[in-house]
């Protein structure tokens, strides 16, 4: 059973991945339109639906009113899905974030102490400070006041085939 549903903005821009249960709830509430379905069926005593694979919001996403909240994906977007140590752009599932001042040394998890890192660079830097490791981010971390909608990079083999038509401009082979 497929457990993921791709959520698109009203303009067909990839926004996030949902659990199928959340997508079904949004369909039932009328906040999204189903654009693609999986073959699996969902059944209740009165209704049979196909599992939603891709859904689109009916209304546009509102702007951030109180600034940007800290999240892993917002750090990746701020850094353009690019490792701040080696400078290579990666798909979101091959990224992690790194504490400039390690947590073991009192570093906190917030925008000004976190940068996007690929897994090999993060492992190489380990629990060391930038000075100790000799690894410095390519750009200083900032607390963004807003973020554009930036699509993550997707690898063709890692997504369901039902998503491909909607992610074609964002796919890497």
Domain hosting residue 104, numbered range: 72-133
Distance between CA atoms of residues 172 and 136, nearest Å: 28
Q: Mark whether 86 and 47 lie in a shared domain.
A: no
Model confidence band, residue 116 (pLDDT cutoffs 50, 70, 90): very high
Taking a C-beta distance cutoff of 8 angstroms, is the pair 107, 124 a contact?
Answer: no
Does residue 138 lie within any of the structural domains? no
By DSSP bridging, strand 171-172 and strand 154-155 are parallel
Number of domains in the chain: 2
pLDDT in tens, 36-80: 999 998 888 988 889 999 999 998 766 545 678 888 988 998 998
Within this chain, do residues 56 and 76 fall inside the same structural domain, yes or no? no
pLDDT of residue 29: 94
Is 79 inside any structural domain? yes
Q: What is the mean pLDDT of residues 156-163?
A: 80
Q: Which residues contact 83 (CB under 8 A, 6 or more apart)?
A: 89, 90, 95, 116, 117, 118, 121
Q: What is the mean predicted confidence (pLDDT) over 9-33? A: 90
Is the entire prediction scored with pTM above 0.75?
no
What is the model's pLDDT at position 155?
65
Nearest alpha carbon to residue 20 among 59, 37, 9: 37
Residue 42 lies in a domain: yes
């Amino acid at each position: 059973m497929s457990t993921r549903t791709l959520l698109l903005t009203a303009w067909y821009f990839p926004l996030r991945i949902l659990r199928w249960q959340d997508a079904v709830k949004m369909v039932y509430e009328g906040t999204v339109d189903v654009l693609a379905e999986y073959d699996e069926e969902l059944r209740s005593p009165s209704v049979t639906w196909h599992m939603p694979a891709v859904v689109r919001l009916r209304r546009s996403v509102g702007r951030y009113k109180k600034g940007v909240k800290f999240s892993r994906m917002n750090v990746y977007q701020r850094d353009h899905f690019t490792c701040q140590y080696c400078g290579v752009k990666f798909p979101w599932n091959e990224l992690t974030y790194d504490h400039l001042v390690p947590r073991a040394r009192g570093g906190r998890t917030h925008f000004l102490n976190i940068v996007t890192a690929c897994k090999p660079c993060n492992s190489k830097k380990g629990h060391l400070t930038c000075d100790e490791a000799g690894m410095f981010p390519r750009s200083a971390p900032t607390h963004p006041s807003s973020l554009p909608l930036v699509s993550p990079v997707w690898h063709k083999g890692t997504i369901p085939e039902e998503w491909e038509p909607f992610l074609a401009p964002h796919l890497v082979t």
